[in-house]
Structure 1
Amino acid sequence: MTDEEHDLTTELEVVEADWGRAIVDNDADAIGRFTTDDWQIVGEDGITSRETFLALVRSGDLTHETMSKITGSVRGLGDVAVLTGRGTTTGRYRGQAFSSDEWVTDVFVRGADGWRCAHTHLTTARDGS
């Protein structure tokens, strides 16, 4: 890994850790500061817009209790970076407890205000993966 790749990985891991804390704090405004206005999250139930995700957090229908992530790889492409890793999350969705173990791909764009996530894709991890 070059120094530049190491620096980018470190920088994005800090952003991801801060974003994760905002999610565990269930702070919709803080969460929103880590995403672009058109951010989408893709999971097993389809595509969720930024507005829908933040509305669920604001209403209390979606809460997070824990979140962790281990970075697998970071690929820098100028002002775009792709971070892939494995994450676990616990929380509640509309009163039902959930626990997830997923491969996570986040696409970040660098702007005047730093790195913000433009797209997140989640894939359920299988045992032994």
Structure 2
Amino acid sequence: MDDKSEIVELALAWAAAIVANDAAAIGAFMTDDWVIVGPDGATSKADFLGLIASGDLTHDMMRTVGDIRVAFYGATAVYTARVINSGHFRGQRFTADEWTSDVFVRSGIQWKCVLSHVTPASNQDNEYPQTQST
């Protein structure tokens, strides 16, 4: 398996753990200092996993649409994709269409995510060519 395929498979496995709402499995993909940055600011690994563990944040679907981009910079990989997901946040149903970028670093033979960033996608494109579901 080449490095790009390894990162894509890693991202899909991480998405599967998120849809399974398994905080321990999700956390295994992240460094201790991981953060996710979105429209409301930055959320730490502990806070994100706490929301999952408490049931305040659940996902029931996560689907990658369109092309996936993976770029390497030494022992760092940047994964960028458009993701459609749905679930519940504190009892309220949500659906999201977002561009996501994940920054992975390699330590030995293992890749872990240090930073995730999500940006809402524009509503200009309603066609989703290639789909990878989890």
Tell me if TM exceeds 0.5. Answer: yes
Match 2:32 to one of 37, 44, 53 = 37
Runs of 4+ in 1 over 4 A off after TM superposition: none
Match of 1:94 among 90, 93, 96: 90
Runs of at least 5 residues in structure 2 that lack an aligned partner in the other structure: 126-134
* Per-residue deviation, 1:72: 2.8
| Aligned alpha-carbon RMSD (Å) | 1.4
Q: Secondary structure at the match of 1:40?
A: strand
Q: Distance in 2 between matches of 1:61 and 1:30?
A: 17
| Range with bigger deviation, 7-16 or 30-39 | 7-16
CA offset at residue 24 of structure 1? 0.4
Aligned to 2:128: none
CA distance in 1, matches of 2:45, 2:117: 13
Within a 5 Å distance, the mapping from 1:8-27 to structure 2 comes to 8-27=3-22
- Letter of the aligned partner of 1:127 in structure 2? N
> Which residue of the other structure, out of 74, 77, 81, is the alignment partner of 2:77?
81
Letter in 2 for 1:106: D
TM-score where L is the length of structure 2: 0.88
Over residues 38-81 of structure 1, what are the superposed CA-to-partner deviations in whole Å (9 max), with x where a residue is unaligned? 00000111100000000000000000000112443111011100
How far, CA to CA, are the matches of 1:68 and 1:123 in structure 2? 15
Taking only the aligned residue pairs, the percentage that are identical comes to 47
Corresponding residue pairs, total? 124
